[in-house]
Chain A
Amino acid sequence: MLDIPLWKKVLILGICAAGLLMALPNANYSNVERYNDAVSAMEGGITSPELEADAALWPSMLPSNLMNLGLDLRGGAHLLAEVQVEDVYGSRMDGYWPAVRDALREERATVGTIRRQPGPDSELRVRISQPEGMEAAVAAVRALAQPIATFTGVGSSDIEVSSAGDVLTVQLSEAERAATDDRTMQQSLEIIRRRVDEAGTREPTIQRQGADRILIQVPGIGSAQELKSLIGTTAKLTFHPVVGQTSNPNARLDGRQILVPDMDDAGTFYILEQTPVVTGDDLVDSQPAFDQNGLPAVTFRFNGAGARDFGIYTAENIGSPFAIVLDDEVVTAPVIQSAIPGGTGQITGNFDVTESTQLSILLRAGALPAEMTFLEERTIGPELGQDSIDAGRIAASIAMAGVVVFMIASYGLFGVFATVALLINVALIVGILSLIGGTLTLPGIAGIVLTVGMAVDANVLVFERIREELRTAKGPARAIQLGYERALSAIVDANLTTFIIAVILFVLGSGPVRGFSVTLGIGIITSVFTALFVTRVFVVMWFERRRPKTLEV
Chain B
Amino acid sequence: MRLRLVPQETNFDFFRFRKVTFGGSVVAVIASIVLWLTMGLNFGIDFLGGTTIRTESRVEVNVGAYRDALQPLNLGDVSITEVFDPTFADDQNVAMVRIQAQDGAESVTPEVIATVEDALRMVDPAITFPSVESVGPKVSGELVTTALIALAAAMAAMLFYIWLRFEWQFAVGAVAALVHDVVLTIGIFSLLQIRFDLATIAALLTVLGYSINDTVVLFDRLRENLIKYKKTPLMEVMNRSTNETLSRTLMTSGTTIVALLALIILGGDVIRGFVFAILWGVIVGTYSSVYVAKNVVLMLGINRDPKKPDSGAGTQFGNIDA
Contact = CB atoms under 8 A, between A and B. Distances in A.
Interface of A: 72, 80, 82, 223-225, 228, 373-381, 383-384, 387-388, 390-392, 394-396, 398-400, 402-403, 406-407, 409-412, 442-443, 445-447, 449-450, 452-454, 456-457, 460-461, 464, 467-468, 471, 486, 489-490, 493-498, 500-502, 504-505, 508-509, 511-513, 516-517, 520, 552
A539 B161 CA distance: 33
B209 interface: yes
Most B C-beta atoms less than 10 A away, residue of A375, A383, A394, A412: A375
A494 B139 CA distance: 35
Contacts of B67: none
30 contacts: A82-B138, A373-B107, A374-B107, A375-B135, A375-B136, A377-B132, A378-B131, A379-B132, A381-B128, A384-B270, A391-B267, A398-B262, A399-B260, A402-B262, A406-B3, A410-B4, A443-B202, A446-B263, A447-B206, A449-B262, A453-B255, A454-B213, A456-B251, A461-B217, A493-B216, A497-B216, A500-B161, A512-B198, A512-B202, A516-B206
B150 interface: yes
Contact of A394 (B106, B114, B266): B266
Given A376-B139, A494-B216, A501-B209, A460 B251 contact: yes
Nearest to A223: B132
A498 B210 contact: yes
B270 A72 contact: yes
Interface string B98-127: 000000001110100010000000000000
A152 to B, nearest CB: 24
Contacts of B239: none
Nearest to B138: A375
Given A374-B108, A391-B87, A395-B266, 15 more contacts: A376-B108, A376-B135, A378-B131, A384-B130, A392-B268, A395-B263, A406-B254, A406-B255, A446-B263, A450-B260, A464-B245, A496-B161, A497-B162, A504-B154, A520-B206
B10 interface: no
Contacts of B157: 500-501, 504
Given A395-B263, A406-B258, A498-B213, A513 B153 contact: no
Interface string B229-247: 0000000000000001101
B267 A224 contact: no
Nearest to A403: B255
A497 B161 contact: yes
A454 B212 CA distance: 13
B24 to A, nearest CB: 26
A457 to B, nearest CB: 4
Given A388-B268, A520-B206, A494 B260 contact: no
B252 interface: yes
Contact of B205 (A402, A457, A464, A505): A505
A410 B150 contact: no
Contact of A497 (B5, B106, B158): B158
Nearest to A407: B255
- Closest 6 pairs between A and B when the two form their complex, measured CB to CB: A453-B256, A453-B259, A391-B268, A399-B259, A381-B130, A409-B3
B199 A443 contact: yes
B320 interface: no
B248 interface: yes
Contact of A508 (B87, B146, B262): B146
Given A395-B262, A449-B263, A497-B216, A376 B136 contact: yes
Contacts of A500: 154, 157-158, 161
Contacts of A511: 198
Interface of B: 2-5, 8, 54, 56, 87, 106-108, 110, 114, 128-136, 138-139, 146, 149-150, 153-154, 157-158, 161-162, 165, 198-199, 201-202, 205-206, 208-210, 212-214, 216-217, 219-221, 224, 244-245, 247-248, 251-252, 254-263, 265-268, 270-271, 274-275, 278
Contacts of B199: 443, 512-513
Nearest to A410: B3
Contacts of A374: 107-108, 110, 136
Nearest to B208: A501
B136 A412 contact: no
Contacts of B205: 501, 504-505
Contacts of A512: 198-199, 202
B251 A490 contact: no
A520 B201 CA distance: 15
Contacts of A490: 216-217, 220-221
B139 A375 contact: yes
A454 B210 contact: yes
Contact of B270 (A375, A442, A452): A442
B178 to A, nearest CB: 10
Contacts of A381: 128-131
A498 to B, nearest CB: 4
Nearest to B158: A497
A447 B205 CA distance: 12
B207 to A, nearest CB: 10
Nearest to B219: A493
Contacts of B135: 375-376
A160 to B, nearest CB: 30
Contact of B153 (A80, A379, A380, A508): A508
Nearest to B143: A510
Contact of B2 (A223, A402, A409): A409
B220 A497 contact: no
A224 B132 contact: yes
A219 to B, nearest CB: 14
Contacts of A392: 267-268
B3 A377 contact: no
Contacts of B208: 501
A196 to B, nearest CB: 19
A161 B244 CA distance: 77
Contacts of B224: 486
A517 to B, nearest CB: 8
B258 to A, nearest CB: 4
B2 A412 contact: yes
A506 B265 CA distance: 28
B289 to A, nearest CB: 11
Contacts of B149: 508
Given A373-B107, A384-B54, A392-B268, A516 B202 contact: yes
B10 to A, nearest CB: 12
Contact of A378 (B134, B210, B245, B257): B134
Nearest to A452: B259
A395 B133 contact: no
Contacts of B131: 378-381, 384
Nearest to B132: A379
